[in-house]
Chain A
Amino acid sequence: MTERALPPPRSPWRDLWQDFTRHRGALLGAIVFTLITLAVFLGPFIWPIDAGFIDPRIRNQGPSWAHPFGTDQLGRDTLARVLSGGRISITVGLTAMALSLGLGTLIGVLAGVIRWLDGPLMRLTDLFLSLPLLPLLLVMVMLFREALSATFGPEAGIFLLIVAAIGLTSWMATARVVRAEVLALKERDFILAARSIGTPNAALVTRHILPNVLSPILVSATLGIANAIITESALSFLGLGFPPDFPTWGRLLNDATIYISDYPERVIWPGVAISLTVLSVNYMGDGLRDALDPRGRR
């Protein structure tokens, strides 16, 4: 009797990666987002001009080799400002996404695993879903800005405030999806098996449930980044975000709109940066969702 060679076990991550790369838009989105992130974080090494350096001799210049995106009304280099603005915007996006994911996953898992918490936690989620978010965010920023700036310094204070505000108001979708997945998982045999050998609840969650709800969490992660970046930019655009010394993309857009009739091209750079980032993240989310949809698996 000869031993038949079994095909090597297929890792779910390999499958996911293959499906993901088959989705051209998603792959392109991932590449663009990685490039933007790299450019923004490695920006100061490639483009050594300081974002805050004021040179009154070169005010309001158009694009040139020395300043590819031109300069603003104080003679600051627009490329450097867009890069440093992106550093703040993307950091806010990633941090706020992490906070909202953590909160959403925690609430979703708690609601799914512990039966008596399910009702109250889901009512809480419904209540949060019916809050008018943008107005509340504006109010939160208005009320807490000065107190936090005084305690943590102007940049760190606003950063904490905006990340916390966005995170606290955007966890609901994640919580709902995670709860639904956990409830479905609980009926599966492997959970029963794990329970029957006496796995404690905490280990059951970390070892068996969390790895299996990772895929919907990934999808909401991409949506979360897009949402956080847009919200931060909207707040900065309305003048209730970062102070003018810390140019985020929304703030740059806001500053440029004043000069729109004289220097319309200045609006383009931060606007395109926001839109391109959000677009690439959305495409990534689309591809992930398609790749994770069991109906599409071949």
Chain B
Amino acid sequence: MLTYALRRLILAIPTLLFIALVIFALLEFAPGDPTAQIPLTVPPEVKAQMREALGLGEPSHIRFGLWLWQFFIIEPLVWIDHALGSTWAEGEARVISWQTRAPVMDTVVERLPQTLWVVGMAYVVGVLIALPIGIYSAYRQYSVFDQMGTFITMVGYSVPPFFSGVVVIMIFAVQLELLPSIYDTTHVVTDWNSLKVQFQQMIMPVMVLALQTTAMISRFMRSAMLEALSQDYVRTARAKGLSEWSVVMVHGLRNSMIPVVTVIALGLPQVFGGAIITEQIFGVNGLGQLLISSIAANDLPMVQTVTFMLAVLIVLFNIIADLLYGALDPRIRYD
């Protein structure tokens, strides 16, 4: 198991390098010049100096290597310095945003908590709602509950977040005036009252993201549970006179959770993609919003770094899903 985990982690390195190369190449070979917006009255030698300052003077492969070096060596060193108070990264050049002229990672670290709060919360809520729905739908297949559940999850699966988000704003913020339509990220929780405000402003983004998660996972849960409940060991368990609860929740659920857990792990990066849109609708200034605004401002180092971090997330959760599969199903051996 450990050797398998190590092998997967080592194999992830070429994958990540390839992804970094794809992202870099896309930005590099795209038509359009980052200094094209500069007015024509600026003399060419000043323009050349500006390109130099942006780090554009070097040939592509050197800049790619430099970015790799900065992202993989310098940035972790900065973190270590923060944690231990050492000075290894002092004076080293970090990945600098063209927009703010500050290190990209500082901005990312600023924005990350908002995204993690909203996305993480939505995912937990979504999974907690999805599992019981899926289990009960499978247990009472073709019942009214199952038919309704299947229909509602299908709708939730089909309605894109940019529509469901706008609809909940329309209902809860415009018509009922219950919840704020814009997420206030400067809000600080100090007492019960401010906690309530924080809770209220999180309801809508979490609801929109959780709808998608619920729809996706409860569909998987239902079909996995149906598969498990038709197995012989379930009939044996019933024949032994076990209670329905332990037949379904112990014999059925434990076996059907194996594929569902992997789907849960694999779905998380996808939710980050959905968060880009949700953050845009509700004005949460998280990673997704950062990505959109830096795309609009042509801030290539920022775009490159944030996109790559999302890719790291996907690769990481792929590995986690694979390892979970082995841990949950004793029949799978990785030796």
Residues of B near A134 (CB, < 8 A) are: 273, 276
- Partner of A282 from the list B154, B298, B315 (CB cut-off 8 Å) is B154
**Contact flags A234-245 to B (C-beta < 8 A → 1, else 0):** 100110100000
Given known A-B contacts A127-B18, A143-B30, A144-B30, A136 and B160 have beta carbons under 8 A apart:
no
B59 contacts A by Cβ under 8 Å: no
Contact assessment for A135 and B307 in the assembled complex, using a CB-CB cutoff below 8 Å: yes
Given known A-B contacts A133-B273, A261-B174, A267-B166, A240 and B295 have beta carbons under 8 A apart:
yes
Q: How many A-B residue pairs have CB under 8 A?
A: 119
> Per DSSP, are chain A's interface residues mostly helix, strand or loop, or mixed?
helix
Give bound CA distance, A237 to B298, whole Å.
Answer: 19
- Partner of B273 from the list A25, A132, A146, A267 (CB cut-off 8 Å) is A132
**Contact flags B24-39 to A (C-beta < 8 A → 1, else 0):** 0011001110000000
Chain B contact residue count (CB 8 A cutoff)? 45
Q: Measured between C-beta atoms, what is the minimum distance from A112 to chain B in Å?
A: 23
> Per DSSP, are chain B's interface residues mostly helix, strand or loop, or mixed?
helix
Contact assessment for B310 and A139 in the assembled complex, using a CB-CB cutoff below 8 Å: no
Contact assessment for B163 and A136 in the assembled complex, using a CB-CB cutoff below 8 Å: no
B155 contacts A by Cβ under 8 Å: yes
Residues of A near B296 (CB, < 8 A) are: 142
- Partner of B22 from the list A131, A238, A264 (CB cut-off 8 Å) is A131
Residues of A near B265 (CB, < 8 A) are: none
B175 contacts A by Cβ under 8 Å: yes
Give bound CA distance, A147 to B29, whole Å.
Answer: 12
Contact assessment for A275 and B32 in the assembled complex, using a CB-CB cutoff below 8 Å: no
Chain A contact residue count (CB 8 A cutoff)? 41
Give bound CA distance, A145 to B149, whole Å.
Answer: 42
- Using CB atoms, name the residue of chain A closest to B269: A132
B234 contacts A by Cβ under 8 Å: no
- Using CB atoms, name the residue of chain B closest to A276: B158
Chain A interface residues (CB < 8 Å from chain B)? 25, 126-127, 130-136, 138-140, 142-144, 146-147, 226, 230, 233-234, 237-238, 240, 250, 253, 256-257, 260-261, 264, 267, 271, 274-275, 278-279, 282-283, 286
Can you spell out 28 A-B residue pairs with CB atoms less than 8 angstroms apart? A130-B311, A132-B272, A136-B22, A136-B307, A138-B292, A138-B295, A147-B30, A230-B160, A233-B160, A237-B277, A238-B280, A238-B292, A253-B166, A256-B166, A260-B166, A260-B169, A260-B170, A264-B175, A267-B163, A271-B163, A274-B160, A275-B158, A275-B160, A278-B158, A278-B159, A279-B154, A279-B158, A282-B154
